[in-house]
Amino acid sequence: MKTRCVRIIQVKYVILIFFLFIQISCNSGGNPTKLEVEDLSSYFKEPKVPFSPRQYVCYKSDQLISIDGVIDEAIWQHAEWTQNFVDIEGDLKQKPRFRTRVKMLWDDQYFYTAVEMEEPDIWATLKKRDSVIYHDNDFEVFIDPDGDTHQYYELEINAYGTEWDLFLSQPYRDGGGALNFWHINGLKSKVSMNGTINNPGDRDKSWFLEIAIPWDVLKECANKSAPPLAGDQWRINFSRVEWQVEVKNGGYVKLKDPKTDVPLPENNWVWSPQGLINMHYPEMWGFVQFSKKTAGSGKDTFEFKNSENIKWALRQVYYRERMYFNKYGKYTDKLADLGLDHLFGEKYEYSPEIYCTLNFFEAVLSSNNEEKTWHISQNGRVW
């Protein structure tokens, strides 16, 4: 009995030391000044547009779709175009010079994308698979099936039809890197064009792209059903890279800054705006809701889930914690230190609970309507 009591006391002592360690880790060195306005861009980039990802209902195809770059099947005529693409920073920048838009369909084997891109000068240089395709004008697809911002897919294709497919365990900001050796086995894509490639002697009108991505590949890290179930929502975005060019010696070359002799920055045009020049903020991607209805047979209403507001609230904590850590070398469990006490007091009924040590934090917030508890940590993953 005495031995048992000693063990209990020892366990209680260890627990006490642990919680004292957490408290010291979160607040050691006094209470630093809370984040100021200038800190918000000095240490960690935060999107500069409101959280309002675009939405699309993706209907099924009951017809065989031939991936030939020609969007002429009857089922494609029933699929709606997305909104025209905007600048990656949204309304912070001017509208794109040329129109880009997308249609989506799905069946039990593939997720389909059809793309139309206005372009007066169609050109490309890269023909080797897995080249860095955005050095040319290109079209890009980003897919995060479960919306946790980790384990997502990227595909880039230029006007030659050269493909670069990537898998990312997590965004670059969170220490992730691209797996270039990963391939979308069974991927189908094809380019067609209303014009001629690499011919400055004529005026082109547009190029088109048709893509089929197998569910067998997407389900590898989907953490949910693939093919999707009716009503399932995936986080998806599309990007178009566009370089300014001029004609020299009978060919296209990128326009350069006369002061530096370096090519001018490319334009990035997207379906759902990111609010900063970085596609690897998956929390800003659009929502694609899958319907079991055949395209043209009826309509489903997109249903925005309250849990997305909860996750976005936690994302604010993540942004500010990362900024705080970069400035002070530690995390904090106080919303006031992060400048978020006012935000949660006005917009959310409950404030998150924050737990931290020297190098880690976890914020937890409950959803009233869905009776779920959501978490986010220093690596940006939300679950």
pLDDT over 70 at 251, yes or no: yes
Q: What is the pLDDT of residue 35?
A: 66
pLDDT score, position 369 = 60
Q: For residues 271 and 240, is the Cβ–Cβ distance under 8 A? A: no
Q: Return the pLDDT at 343.
A: 77
Lowest mean pLDDT among 79-93, 96-110, 111-125, 359-373: 359-373
351 falls in which pLDDT band (50, 70, 90)? confident
Report percent pLDDT > 70 for the chain: 86
Ordered by start, the domain boundaries in the chain are 55-294, 305-383
Residue written as tokens 């089929």? 212
Which among 329, 167, 307 has a CA at the least distance from the CA of 233? 307
Q: Tell whether domain 55-294 is in CATH 2.60.40.1190.
A: yes
- What's the pLDDT at 341? 85
Average pLDDT value for residue range 235-257: 97
Q: Are 57 and 300 in contact (CB under 8 A)?
A: yes
- CB atoms < 10 A from the CB of 215, how many? 20
Q: Radius of gyration over alpha carbons of the chain, in Å?
A: 24
The pTM (predicted TM-score) of the whole model is 0.90
Structure tokens at 309: 């507001």
3-state secondary structure 151-199: CEEEEEEECCCCEEEEEECCCHHHCCCEECCCCCCCCEEEEEEECCCCC
Name the residue with higher pLDDT: 12 or 126: 126
CA angle 171, 111, 272 (to 5 degrees): 50
